[in-house]
């Protein structure tokens, strides 16, 4: 059981607060934010998702810039509470359409109504969007998603010709079209977070993909639907399936180390033709989670060169090469690299004609940061960094610098080659208007290059 639940903004403002049991002090939100803001324990700069302070256990997750926090004095399972916080955030997003500080403030009555149905005296009742619809009576106040910052996969598709699908998926599950008509749409996202570690010579040491097939349904009547995947999809690394299918993409079999499915998924024909059947509940939910550790082509190559250019100087050359096709563009790329602690001054030199790039030196933790607004596939970008030291070098600068870490998002690209071939509605009506495409998103979970 949990004692309190609250949501804080990035500034520490208390947006939502609910005290269920009264056994934790009222100022716990301020205590929590002050502790997280100035966390200095265990030589870490960020607070762990679970910690204890003065006999109170604090659990928190960060969702789109907001802190979802639960407190308790009991010894609860951390994974249980963290999953609960994620599900509460998902339920609120389903009903508000857009999860942001503005949408929470405008819909605080609806949010508190949801919390009262989800939790009773600190005990979980339900986190199902569909079940809650029978008990929720307040209508959401719509927030324009186009004015919000790019903080989620849906916002990646809100430009150009794909604006309609991008904004449609950020609507509330209880919202209606003008004229009172029910929205009859369904969206599928394939989101993959990749972790890659490169050696100093550029070879891949470790690589892993954590993938999710996310679905958001606005279909009335909860019709049965079918999802079809690659014919050459194999579960487990023991070899190919007993069914010898030819490759659907012509680029080798897709091998999943393991996977799990939503409780609404039926696997009757999955081993035969790699299709799933399910009756989708209202709102957003993960149809399938999977993990891949087989070799795959990384989207970026990172090369780093460090040279001493004098007794008090050194030069760092960072080179980023995009390995994906030129028709694909990566967004919001950030490269970070720790520098020696005795670094006094840093001068950056970008390549001629560089646009949408920004460099910075974090004096507090001696870290350089290189941000690129976008990178087109098959392109290469270079940054030269000149370091100045207050004293003559005696140690090995290569051992004291690095490793290089990188974060990015790539829409319409997935390195696993897992494909959703089609989405089929069993009993289709004229009102249904599903989009005939699936969105793919690749994000960096951990992308590191040693020096």
CA gap 35, 52 in Å, rounded: 11
Are the C-beta atoms of 389 and 339 separated by less than 8 Å? Answer: no
Q: What is the pLDDT of residue 151?
A: 39
- Sign of the torsion angle spanned by Cα atoms 288, 290, 296, 302: positive
CA gap 304, 320 in Å, rounded: 9
| Claim to verify: residue 228 and residue 316 sit in the same structural domain | no
Q: Which residues pair with 4 in a beta bridge?
A: 19, 71
| Claim to verify: residue 251 and residue 345 sit in the same structural domain | no
- Does 143 map to a domain? no
How buried is residue 398: exposed, middle or buried, by Cβ count under 10 Å (0-12/13-18/19+)?
middle
| Claim to verify: residue 288 and residue 426 sit in the same structural domain | yes
| Claim to verify: residue 122 and residue 212 sit in the same structural domain | no
CATH number, residue 263: 2.60.40.1170
What does the pLDDT average to over 158-180?
54
Are the C-beta atoms of 393 and 310 separated by less than 8 Å? Answer: no
User: Is the entire prediction scored with pTM above 0.95?
Assistant: no
Kindly list the distances between the CA atom of residue 131 and the CA atoms of 101, 135, 322, in Å, as whole numbers in the listed order.
Answer: 25, 8, 45
pLDDT in tens, 286-326: 999 999 998 889 999 998 988 887 778 889 999 999 999 99
Report how many domains make up the chain. Answer: 3
Segments forming the whole domain that contains residue 97: 4-132
- Does 264 map to a domain? yes
Instruction: Look at residues 283, 286, 285, 281 and name the one whose alpha carbon lies nearest to residue 223.
Output: 281
pLDDT in tens, 390-436: 877 656 777 888 899 999 999 999 999 999 988 888 776 666 665 55
| Claim to verify: residue 353 and residue 376 sit in the same structural domain | yes
How buried is residue 311: exposed, middle or buried, by Cβ count under 10 Å (0-12/13-18/19+)?
exposed
Q: Which residues contact 350 (CB under 8 A, 6 or more apart)?
A: 357, 359, 383
| Claim to verify: residue 64 and residue 83 sit in the same structural domain | yes
Q: Which residues contact 374 (CB under 8 A, 6 or more apart)?
A: 329, 330, 331, 333, 356
| Claim to verify: residue 251 and residue 378 sit in the same structural domain | no
CA gap 207, 444 in Å, rounded: 11
| Chain centroid, CA 338 distance in Å | 24
| Claim to verify: residue 402 and residue 310 sit in the same structural domain | yes
- Does 86 map to a domain? yes
Across 139-148, 194-203, 428-437, the highest mean pLDDT is recorded for 194-203
């Amino acid at each position: 059981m949990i004692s309190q639940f609250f949501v804080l903004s990035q500034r520490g403002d208390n947006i939502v607060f609910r005290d269920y049991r009264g056994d934790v002090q009222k100022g716990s939100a301020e205590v929590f934010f002050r502790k997280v803001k100035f966390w200095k324990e265990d030589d870490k700069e960020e607070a762990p998702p679970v910690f204890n302070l003065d006999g109170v256990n604090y659990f928190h997750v960060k969702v789109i810039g907001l802190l979802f926090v639960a407190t308790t004095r009991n010894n609860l399972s951390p994974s249980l509470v963290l999953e609960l916080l994620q599900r509460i955030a998902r339920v609120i997003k389903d009903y508000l359409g857009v999860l942001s500080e503005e949408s929470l403030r405008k819909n605080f009555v609806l949010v508190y109504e949801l919390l009262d149905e989800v939790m009773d005296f600190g005990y979980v009742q339900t986190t199902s969007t569909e079940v809650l619809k029978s008990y929720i009576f307040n209508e959401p106040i719509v927030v324009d998603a186009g004015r919000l910052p790019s903080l989620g996969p849906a916002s990646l598709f809100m430009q150009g010709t794909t604006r309609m699908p991008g904004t449609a998926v950020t609507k509330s599950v209880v919202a209606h079209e003008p004229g009172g008509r029910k929205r009859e749409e369904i969206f599928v996202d394939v989101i993959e977070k990749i972790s890659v570690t490169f050696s100093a010579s550029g070879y891949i040491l470790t690589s892993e993909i954590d993938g999710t097939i996310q679905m958001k349904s606005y279909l009335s009547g909860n019709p049965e639907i079918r999802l079809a995947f690659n014919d050459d999809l194999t579960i487990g690394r023991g070899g190919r399936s007993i069914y010898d299918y030819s490759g659907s993409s012509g680029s080798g079999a897709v091998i999943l180390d393991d996977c799990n499915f939503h409780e609404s998924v039926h696997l009757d024909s999955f081993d035969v033709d790699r299709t799933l059947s399910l009756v989708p509940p209202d709102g957003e939910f993960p149809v399938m989670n999977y993990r891949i550790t087989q070799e795959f082509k990384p989207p970026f190559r990172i090369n780093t060169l460090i040279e001493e250019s004098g007794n008090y100087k050194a030069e760092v050359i960072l080179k980023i090469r995009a390995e994906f096709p030129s028709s694909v563009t990566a967004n919001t790329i950030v490269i970070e690299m720790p520098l020696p602690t005795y670094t006094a001054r840093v001068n950056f030199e970008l390549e001629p004609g560089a646009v949408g790039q920004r460099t910075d030196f974090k004096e507090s933790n001696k870290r350089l940061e290189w941000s690129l607004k976008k990178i087109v596939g098959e392109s290469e970008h270079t940054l030269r960094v000149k370091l100045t030291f207050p004293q003559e070098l005696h140690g090995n600068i290569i051992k004291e610098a690095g490793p290089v870490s990188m974060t990015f998002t790539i829409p319409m690209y997935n390195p696993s080659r897992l494909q959703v071939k089609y989405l089929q509605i069993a009993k289709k009506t004229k009102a249904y208007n599903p989009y005939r495409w699936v969105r793919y998103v690749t994000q960096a979970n951990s992308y590191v290059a040693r020096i």
